[in-house]
Amino acid sequence: MEWGRIGGMEIDWAALRAAAIEAMRHAYAPYSDFPVGVAGLVDDGRVVVGCNVENASYGVGLCAECGLVSSLAATGGGRLVAVSCVDANGNPLMPCGRCRQLLWEHGGADCLVEAVPRPLTMAELLPHAFGPEDLDKVNGPASGPEVPAALAKWRGRGTVFVHPDLSGGATVWTGYWERSGGSPQESDVAKGVLEEGPNFPTAAEAVAWGQVRTPRIVVVAADGGLTWAGEGEPPEGIPDRWQQD
Ligand code: THU
């Protein structure tokens, strides 16, 4: 079985657990003698891992999940789809309260956590959770009017492709925000769609949707021709600027 995407392929729980067990073997837990390993499947197919790392100053020890979310961010971000956390026997271990909050931030309500007899959703593990949306309710979105909180870290990165589509026989304009293309340093970041845009009556509105997200905007005309609606000089291969009708 292959690693899955959310809403797509199956989640290979056995492989995810194996990755957690391998990480557990690297735990540094001389004080509790309770090694923990965790593995998370990311929505782009990556698997990130973590292990607990304790300290002579007991209270500052790091849970395995802390390492997991750090590794998630350090290797390109994305959303956690499924998580397996294991104890020294390789059996599923329930994340502690603080770590449920960490997983909530990066996986949200639908992220699955391995448990017996069945995986549990984060909504089950952390009911009535506090999350980024609660900040937005009071302060407004921290990262612009239309970018979902979960995608805030991608703002300014990636590329938006704007293109026409058919909706009920009429031509509408829409777009999608793609991970790749942000900068040369990001060339090794996995490709994948971050967000699908809504339908707009005009290309200009779809371009405006893109401008909230990234300075890199490519308009794909009905005939497949590409024009640049982004900031700065057009990249190689897209010499012409998009002209508003
Ligand atoms: N631990 C984790 O790594 N994750 C959890 O969710 C539960 C607890 C670690 C912390 C500490 O190093 C050891 O397990 C014993 O509490």
pTM as predicted: 0.65
Are 214 and 237 spatial neighbours (Cβ–Cβ below 8 Å)?
no
Distance CA 161, CA 85 (A): 38
Label the pairing between strands 159-167 and 170-178.
Answer: antiparallel
* pLDDT value at residue 192: 85
- Cα-to-centroid distance, 75 and ligand 1 (Å): 23
Whose C-alpha lies nearest to ligand 1, atom 9?
Answer: 63
Task: Name which residue sits closest to atom 6 of ligand 1, judged by CA.
Answer: 95
| CA 5/CA 10 separation, integer angstroms | 8
Alpha carbon of 35 to ligand 1 centroid (Å) = 7
Contact 162, 207 (CB under 8 A): yes
Residue 144, CA distances (Å) to 51, 141, 155, 156, 195 in order = 35, 6, 9, 11, 15
Residue 143 has a pLDDT of 47
Q: Is 65 considered catalytic here?
A: yes
Residues near ligand 1 (Cβ within 6 A): 29, 32, 34, 36, 52, 54, 61, 63-65, 95-96, 99
Residues in the chain with pLDDT values less than 50: 1-6, 9, 143
Q: What separation in Å is there between the alpha carbon of 190 and the centre of ligand 1?
A: 30
pLDDT value at position 187? 54
The confidence score (pLDDT) of residue 210 equals 93
Question: Looking at residue 145, what is its pLDDT?
Answer: 55
